[in-house]
């Protein structure tokens, strides 16, 4: 009777059909609508023949979720997770389980996008404001940003800020204390080289002997020593220099704030506030400075403003779209940051509160006292008397100690000759300390932790100088003093989550951002201890599981990009651009072409492109686009030829941000190469390439991949991300390396772009599983269905709105641009009104006004099924009808549901409802919106007010009252 084979039946476990939204019937219906024979025929129509790959990529077949997870578990188990006392900015931490499960492992938090639409993002904006408040309290300054990528890059950003604001204009010299973490020095060195700054790295006290525009100090120092840096800071100030202090966030709970010691900028990592080490990341770096430098601040600041009802409401302030507006004049190229991890750290502070944090910090410090005293009792003095959590010992028997440590499963810091450092953390126990005595002294030392503790109390042992003991209060705001029971905390997290629209509510069709499925199975290994608890500088032989996974992912990405080598180091697309441009510059240099410094960038480019070019000292020359959105070939040719002697490269996005496959892409690569330049292909749109073409095949030399777009890492509400770069063979020798962990023999000694050798290695398992579970066919199908979905949407929407650019045959690539400018002209309704009105329908707006002002860029991805696409089309269609009513005068330009969008519960319960439309029209415009209602929690937010009155800390309690 049965006609199905076992193979047919087994296909029910296939992940491909879970990842790709439309099923067969839905696909057929869409194809009928857009008049295409089949998915493959559609792809043939759209993708230029001269860039099509003949075969599927040479990667494995897809695996089921069960098999892929089991195989990865076996790989993970090759990691040896030692007890780590390495320190250097990465520490063991206890993620409160209520935060682990309800934030890190919760799609309501991890699938949200950067809060560009603040009315439906008040939850994470509040949490980020808490993060900023926490950073302000601990660092003692008055302006904080909502996270940077890591401590190393934050230090580099601090140096760049110092150059912008220092009044010592004639100096080109930046001072770095040699007691700054080695990986930070490495990142700063690389930046300084390309900015053209001179660097001096010397003992901190030496700073007074130099005429500098700025200086970087570490507090406590890398050795662990705590010393009063206020005099050094004064000396730099006397010469009009700016002082940045890299600080340990946990130590600041007990130590005097660097701001109180005179620091102008304080940076550091908030990892040890509950975020697992993850072999280097992702973690949020903090950055605080003084209010007078607000115009020079890198990254995003969350600010308080008000909505149309006059209620307090939060949004990203000022430099939200900095790169897009200021391009190569932007303060930094930071786009994707570390929002999810900043939120975790903020929740950690909320959950523990000031008292809880103090206990944690004091316990760490007490264990360090016990270790120090015990060693001293046995005649081994630490190198310094003042410390928080780290002791350094100068030892004659270092080798013996290190091998004893390894035999006991313990890692110490060993990179400084003749010395060993030991850092303790929140996870340290009495047994750990007893174990450390055994390691450092050999067994039979007779030391007793409890007895040493008593001795410390009896002698009133002081290892923090009185002048550096914190006196100012921290975290006095009610939010840090209210949610200390798990029930209260759970509800606070949920309360915030409810305010935010994420992918677990509806599709987020942000063009260029590729908000596809972040499958649950792909997320699971992120919190496996084998991955989560690895220190990035653990000996490589302990990290074989990571090595295996990274090597395999590397191999797959090489195949999918058509390049020869990858670097996993960059923590975001923008960092990938920076790393790729460095490779280009180093390559030119190696051929005696160091003078090549012109970077051609089409006008449609993402703002990070010119911002990154500026960071490596390139001069940006803009290339025009023609009427159909393509690069203007004659302008390109003319400029490439005219500038040929100094041409470094082009940065081009493919398919372009206009959403079309330019037919001339190969020719563009040739023109650039013929004129001595290199091709940087911005890989943000790889979701339109995987499996059907590739940047390497097209002829480009280097690209970044946004693993948080194409390869399924969730956006985390504005980060984390990963921006590995692929390069052709000739650029491979110029990929980043790392000061402490050699990434590859061939790159030995190269500078670093991130603090950790493999960037945010802890989330690479997501992309790894994405590829493993989809296999060669699945990744290729994803591209094809992304294009199919986009063309279906474009076709349906074109019946109501003009689609700005299409290819030769009227088709689009994986995204399309809806042009609202004509409607604005006719009705006064703006793209902003449409974006806000979509919230009433339960949708997040598409990308607004990029790459063209007055438009929406829509990218549905392959993961959305037809019913969801249809709901979105219905919303856009109804919105068109609403606009028509304004055009026809039925509604005035002020009194209509678009202008007043989004609508809140406050609106509809206001007895003074005086709108020209009903409450029903306002909040339930279509049945689908009513059936799955999403309530924006604030009305439209006033951006201008917020920028004029910049407040980046938690509003005082009084403002909550009125
Ligand atoms: C997203 C994007 C970038 C920047 O990537 P981040 O990971 O946010 O730094 C660069 N170019 C384009 C075209 C993008 O869409």
Q: What is the pLDDT of residue 180?
A: 98
DSSP type of residue 845: -
Does some domain include residue 869? yes
At 164, which CATH number? 3.40.640.10
Whether residues 611 and 754 fall in one domain: yes
Which residue's CA lies nearest to atom 15 of ligand 1? 512
Range of the domain at 154: 140-315
Which residue's CA lies nearest to atom 7 of ligand 1? 573
Pocket probe for ligand 1: among 113, 116, 608, 683, the residue whose CB has the most ligand atoms within 8 Å is: 608
Whether residues 785 and 931 fall in one domain: yes
Q: How far is the CA of 76 from the centre of ligand 1 (A)?
A: 30
Pocket probe for ligand 1: among 335, 513, 571, the residue whose CB has the most ligand atoms within 8 Å is: 335
Secondary structure percentages of the chain, helix, strand, coil, to 5:
45, 15, 40
Q: What is the pLDDT of residue 950?
A: 83
How far apart (Å, rounded) are the C-alpha atoms in residues 455 and 459? 6
What atom of ligand 1 comes closest to residue 708's alpha carbon? 7
Cα-Cα end-to-end distance for the chain: 74
Q: What is the pLDDT of residue 956?
A: 75
Please report, rounded to a whole number, the percentage of residues in the chain having pLDDT higher than 70: 99
Mean pLDDT of the 109-130 span: 97
Residues ≥6 apart with Cβ < 8 Å to 870: none
Does some domain include residue 960? no
Whether residues 294 and 394 fall in one domain: no
Q: What is the per-residue pLDDT across 645-691, written as a single tens digit (0 to 9) for each? A: 999 999 999 999 888 899 999 999 999 999 999 999 999 999 999 99
How far apart (Å, rounded) are the C-alpha atoms in residues 577 and 704? 6
How far apart (Å, rounded) are the C-alpha atoms in residues 784 and 774? 13
Q: How far is the CA of 683 from the centre of ligand 1 (A)?
A: 8
Which residue's CA lies nearest to atom 5 of ligand 1? 573
Does some domain include residue 31? no
Q: How far is the CA of 662 from the centre of ligand 1 (A)?
A: 19
Q: What is the per-residue pLDDT across 904-954, written as a single tens digit (0 to 9) for each? A: 999 999 999 999 999 999 999 999 999 999 999 999 999 888 888 888 888
Q: Does residue 782's CB lie within 6 angstroms of at least one atom of ligand 1?
A: no
Does some domain include residue 850? yes
For the chain, the maximum distance between any two Cα atoms, rounded to a whole number of angstroms, is 92
Selection from 640, 708, 662 nearest residue 861 by Cα = 708
Selection from 455, 437, 415 nearest residue 739 by Cα = 415
Whether residues 742 and 813 fall in one domain: no
Whether residues 443 and 304 fall in one domain: no
Whether residues 731 and 792 fall in one domain: no
Q: Does residue 333's CB lie within 6 angstroms of at least one atom of ligand 1?
A: no
Residues ≥6 apart with Cβ < 8 Å to 645: 595, 676
Does some domain include residue 548? no
Q: Does residue 653's CB lie within 6 angstroms of at least one atom of ligand 1?
A: yes
How far apart (Å, rounded) are the C-alpha atoms in residues 99 and 472? 28
How far apart (Å, rounded) are the C-alpha atoms in residues 654 and 443? 63
What atom of ligand 1 comes closest to residue 723's alpha carbon? 7
What atom of ligand 1 comes closest to residue 653's alpha carbon? 13
Whether residues 744 and 799 fall in one domain: no
Q: How far is the CA of 173 from the centre of ligand 1 (A)?
A: 32
**Coil, strand, or helix at residue 678?**
strand
Dihedral angle sign, alpha carbons of residues 153, 548, 423, 249? positive
DSSP type of residue 416: S
Q: Does residue 496's CB lie within 6 angstroms of at least one atom of ligand 1?
A: no
Selection from 666, 656, 523 nearest residue 103 by Cα = 523
Query: Does an H or E element contain 704, and which?
Result: strand 702-704
- 957 has pLDDT over 70: no
Q: Does residue 703's CB lie within 6 angstroms of at least one atom of ligand 1?
A: no
At 374, which CATH number? 3.90.1150.10
CA angle at 818 for the pair 814 and 823, rounded to the nearest 5°: 175
Q: How far is the CA of 893 from the centre of ligand 1 (A)?
A: 35
**Which domain-ending residue is among 428, 443, 468?**
468
Q: How far is the CA of 711 from the centre of ligand 1 (A)?
A: 14
Q: Does residue 721's CB lie within 6 angstroms of at least one atom of ligand 1?
A: yes
Q: How many CB atoms lie within 10 A of CB 557?
A: 23
Instruction: Quote the crossing angle between the two packed helices 449-459 and 339-377, to the nearest 10°.
Output: 90
Whether residues 293 and 206 fall in one domain: yes
Q: Enter the tokens of residue 201.
A: 């790295």
Q: Does residue 606's CB lie within 6 angstroms of at least one atom of ligand 1?
A: yes
Q: Enter the tokens of residue 914.
A: 């005086």
Which residue's CA lies nearest to atom 11 of ligand 1? 606
Whether residues 733 and 803 fall in one domain: no
750 in the Ramachandran plot: left (φ > 0), alpha (ψ -120 to 50) or beta? beta
How far apart (Å, rounded) are the C-alpha atoms in residues 927 and 496? 26
Q: How far is the CA of 324 from the centre of ligand 1 (A)?
A: 11
Q: Does residue 723's CB lie within 6 angstroms of at least one atom of ligand 1?
A: yes
DSSP, residue by residue, 6-73: HHHHHGGG-SHHHHS---HHHHHHHHHHHT-S-HHHHHHHHS-GGG--SS--SSPPP--HHHHHHHHH
Whether residues 158 and 221 fall in one domain: yes
Dihedral angle sign, alpha carbons of residues 452, 455, 457, 462? negative
Selection from 901, 794, 940 nearest residue 857 by Cα = 794
Q: What is the pLDDT of residue 962?
A: 43
**Which domain-ending residue is among 759, 794, 818?**
759
Which residue's CA lies nearest to atom 2 of ligand 1? 684
Whether residues 799 and 718 fall in one domain: no
Q: Is the pTM of this model over 0.95?
A: yes
Whether residues 709 and 784 fall in one domain: no
What atom of ligand 1 comes closest to residue 333's alpha carbon? 9
Instruction: Quote the crossing angle between the two packed helices 339-377 and 486-498, to the nearest 10°.
Output: 150
Q: What is the pLDDT of residue 63?
A: 96
How does residue 326 score in pLDDT terms, banded at 50, 70 and 90?
confident
How does residue 10 score in pLDDT terms, banded at 50, 70 and 90?
confident
Q: Which residues of 431-465 are buried (b: 16+ CB within 10 A; e: fewer)?
A: ebbbbbbbbbbeeeeebebeebbebbeeeeeebbe
Average pLDDT of the chain to the nearest whole number: 96
Q: Tell me the HSE value of 799 on the side-chain side, using a 13 A CA sphere.
A: 13
Q: What is the pLDDT of residue 659?
A: 87
How does residue 955 score in pLDDT terms, banded at 50, 70 and 90?
confident
Which residue's CA lies nearest to atom 3 of ligand 1? 573
Q: What is the pLDDT of residue 321?
A: 60
How far apart (Å, rounded) are the C-alpha atoms in residues 834 and 883? 9
**E strand map for 546-677:** 565-567, 598-602, 619-623, 647-653
Total domains present in the chain: 4
Q: How far is the CA of 608 from the centre of ligand 1 (A)?
A: 7
Q: Does residue 580's CB lie within 6 angstroms of at least one atom of ligand 1?
A: no
Q: What is the pLDDT of residue 872?
A: 98
Q: What is the per-residue pLDDT across 760-811, written as a single tens digit (0 to 9) for each? A: 999 999 999 999 999 999 999 999 999 999 999 999 999 999 999 888 788 9
Q: Does residue 338's CB lie within 6 angstroms of at least one atom of ligand 1?
A: no
CA angle at 309 for the pair 307 and 315, rounded to the nearest 5°: 10
In Å, how far from its chain's centre is CA 556? 23
Residues ≥6 apart with Cβ < 8 Å to 627: none
As a dihedral over the C-alpha atoms of residue 830, residue 823, residue 844, residue 508, rounded to 10 degrees, the angle is: -140
- 961 has pLDDT over 60: no
How far apart (Å, rounded) are the C-alpha atoms in residues 584 and 896? 53
Selection from 776, 805, 817, 811 nearest residue 791 by Cα = 811
As a dihedral over the C-alpha atoms of residue 885, residue 889, residue 890, residue 894, rounded to 10 degrees, the angle is: 90
**680 φ/ψ angles, rounded to the nearest 5 degrees:** -95, 115
Q: What is the per-residue pLDDT across 57-82, written as a single tens digit (0 to 9) for each? A: 999 999 999 999 999 999 999 999 99
Q: How far is the CA of 723 from the centre of ligand 1 (A)?
A: 9
How far apart (Å, rounded) are the C-alpha atoms in residues 714 and 708? 6
**Which domain-ending residue is among 468, 497, 513?**
468
Does some domain include residue 168? yes
Does some domain include residue 180? yes
How far apart (Å, rounded) are the C-alpha atoms in residues 670 and 907? 58
How far apart (Å, rounded) are the C-alpha atoms in residues 229 and 314? 36
Which residue's CA lies nearest to atom 14 of ligand 1? 684
Judge contact between 726 and 579, C-beta under 8 A: no
Q: Does residue 576's CB lie within 6 angstroms of at least one atom of ligand 1?
A: no
Q: Does residue 336's CB lie within 6 angstroms of at least one atom of ligand 1?
A: yes
Question: Judging by beta carbons within 10 Å of its beta carbon (0-12, 13-18, 19+), is residue 55 exposed, middle or buried?
Answer: exposed
Q: Does residue 684's CB lie within 6 angstroms of at least one atom of ligand 1?
A: yes
Pocket probe for ligand 1: among 681, 684, 754, the residue whose CB has the most ligand atoms within 8 Å is: 684
Q: How far is the CA of 335 from the centre of ligand 1 (A)?
A: 7
Which residue's CA lies nearest to atom 8 of ligand 1? 336
Does some domain include residue 490? no
How far apart (Å, rounded) are the C-alpha atoms in residues 4 and 13? 15
């Amino acid at each position: 009777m049965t006609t199905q084979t076992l193979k047919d039946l087994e296909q029910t476990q296939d992940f491909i059909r879970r990842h790709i939204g439309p099923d067969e019937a839905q696909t057929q219906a869409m194809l009928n609508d857009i008049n295409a024979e089949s998915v493959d025929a559609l792809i043939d129509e759209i993708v230029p023949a001269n860039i099509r790959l003949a075969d599927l990529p040479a990667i494995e077949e897809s695996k089921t979720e069960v098999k892929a997870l089991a195989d990865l578990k076996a790989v993970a188990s090759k990691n040896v997770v030692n007890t780590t006392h390495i320190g250097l900015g990465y520490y063991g931490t206890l993620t409160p389980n209520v935060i682990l499960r309800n934030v890190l492992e919760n799609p309501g938090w991890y699938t949200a996008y950067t809060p560009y639409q603040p009315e439906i993002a008040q939850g994470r904006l509040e949490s980020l404001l808490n993060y900023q408040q926490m950073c302000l309290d601990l660092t003692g300054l008055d302006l904080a940003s909502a996270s940077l990528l890591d401590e190393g890059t934050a230090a580099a950003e601090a140096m760049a800020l110092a150059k912008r604001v220092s009044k010592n204009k004639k100096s080109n010299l930046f001072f770095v204390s040699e007691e700054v973490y080695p990986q930070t020095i490495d990142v700063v060195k690389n930046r300084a080289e390309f900015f053209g700054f001179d660097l001096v790295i010397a003992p901190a006290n030496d700073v007074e002997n130099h005429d500098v525009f700025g200086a970087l100090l570490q507090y406590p120092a890398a050795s662990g020593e705590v010393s009063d840096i206020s005099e050094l800071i004064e000396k730099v100030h006397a010469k009009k220099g700016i002082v940045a202090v890299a600080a340990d966030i946990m130590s600041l709970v007990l130590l005097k704030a660097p701001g109180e010691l005179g620091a102008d900028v304080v940076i550091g990592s908030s990892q040890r506030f509950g975020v697992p080490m993850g072999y280097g990341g992702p973690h949020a770096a903090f950055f605080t400075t003084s209010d007078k430098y607000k115009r020079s601040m890198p990254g995003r600041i969350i600010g308080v403003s008000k909505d149309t009802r006059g209620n307090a409401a939060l949004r990203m302030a000022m430099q939200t779209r900095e790169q897009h507006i200021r391009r190569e004049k932007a303060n930094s190229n930071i786009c994707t940051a570390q929002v999810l991890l900043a939120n975790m750290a903020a929740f950690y502070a909320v959950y523990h509160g000031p008292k809880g944090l103090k206990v944690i910090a004091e316990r760490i410090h007490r264990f360090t006292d016990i270790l120090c005293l015990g060693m001293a009792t046995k005649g081994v003095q630490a190198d310094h008397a003042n410390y928080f959590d780290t002791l350094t010992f100068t030892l004659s028997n270092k080798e013996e100690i290190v091998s004893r440590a390894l035999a006991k499963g313990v890692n110490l810091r060993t990179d400084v000759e003749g010395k060993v450092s030991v850092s303790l953390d929140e996870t340290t126990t009495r047994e750990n300390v007893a174990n450390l005595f055994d390691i450092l002294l050999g067994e039979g030392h007779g030391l007793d932790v409890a007895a040493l503790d008593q001795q410390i109390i009896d002698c009133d042992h002081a290892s923090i100088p009185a002048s550096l003991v914190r006196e100012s209060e921290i975290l006095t705001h009610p939010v840090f003093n209210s949610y200390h029971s798990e029930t209260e905390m759970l509800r606070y997290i949920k309360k915030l989550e409810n305010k935010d629209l994420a992918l677990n509510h509806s599709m987020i069709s942000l063009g260029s951002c590729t908000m596809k499925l972040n499958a649950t199975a792909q997320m699971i290994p992120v919190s496996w201890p084998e991955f989560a608890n690895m220190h990035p500088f653990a000996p490589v032989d302990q990290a074989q599981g990571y090595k295996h996974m990274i090597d395999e992912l590397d191999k797959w990405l090489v195949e999918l990009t058509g390049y020869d080598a990858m670097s996993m180091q960059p923590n975001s697309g923008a960092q990938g651009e920076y790393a790729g441009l460095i490779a280009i510059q180093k390559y030119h240099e190696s051929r005696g072409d160091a003078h090549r410094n012109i970077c051609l960038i089409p006008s449609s480019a993402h703002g990070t492109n010119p911002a990154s070019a500026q960071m490596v000292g390139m001069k940006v020359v803009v290339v025009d686009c023609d009427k159909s959105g393509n690069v203007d070939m004659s302008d390109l040719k003319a400029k490439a030829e005219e500038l040929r002697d100094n041409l470094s490269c082009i940065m081009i996005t493919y398919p372009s941000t206009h959403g079309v496959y330019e037919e001339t892409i190969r020719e563009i690569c040739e023109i650039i190469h013929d004129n001595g330049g290199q091709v940087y292909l911005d890989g943000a749109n790889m979701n339109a390439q995987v499996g059907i073409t590739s940047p390497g095949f097209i002829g480009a030399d280097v690209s970044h991949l946004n693993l948080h777009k194409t390869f399924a890492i969730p956006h985390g509400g504005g980060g984390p991300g990963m921006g590995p770069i692929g390069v052709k063979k000739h650029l491979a020798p110029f990929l980043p390396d790392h000061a402490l962990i050699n990434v590859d023999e061939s790159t030995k000694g190269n500078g670093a772009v991130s603090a950790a050798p493999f960037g945010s290695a802890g989330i690479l398992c997501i992309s790894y599983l994405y590829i493993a579970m989809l296999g060669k066919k699945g990744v290729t199908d994803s591209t094809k269905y992304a294009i199919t979905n986009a063309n279906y949407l474009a076709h349906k929407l074109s019946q109501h709105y003009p689609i700005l650019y299409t290819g030769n045959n009227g088709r689009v690539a994986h995204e399309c641009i809806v042009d609202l400018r004509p409607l604005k002209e006719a009705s006064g309704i703006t793209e902003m009104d449409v974006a806000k009105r979509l919230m009433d329908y339960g949708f997040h707006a598409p990308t607004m006004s990029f790459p063209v002002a007055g438009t929406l860029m829509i990218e549905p991805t392959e993961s959305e099924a037809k019913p969801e696409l249809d709901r979105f089309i219905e919303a856009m269609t109804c919105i068109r009808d609403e606009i028509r009513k304004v055009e026809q005068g039925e509604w005035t330009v002020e009194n209509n549901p678009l202008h007043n969008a989004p609508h809140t519960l406050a609106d509809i319960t206001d007895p003074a409802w005086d709108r020209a439309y009903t409450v029903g029209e306002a909040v339930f415009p279509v049945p689908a919106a009513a059936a799955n209602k999403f309530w924006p929690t604030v009305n439209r937010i006033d951006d201008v007010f917020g920028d004029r009155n910049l407040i980046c800390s938690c509003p005082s309690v009084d403002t909550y009252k009125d």
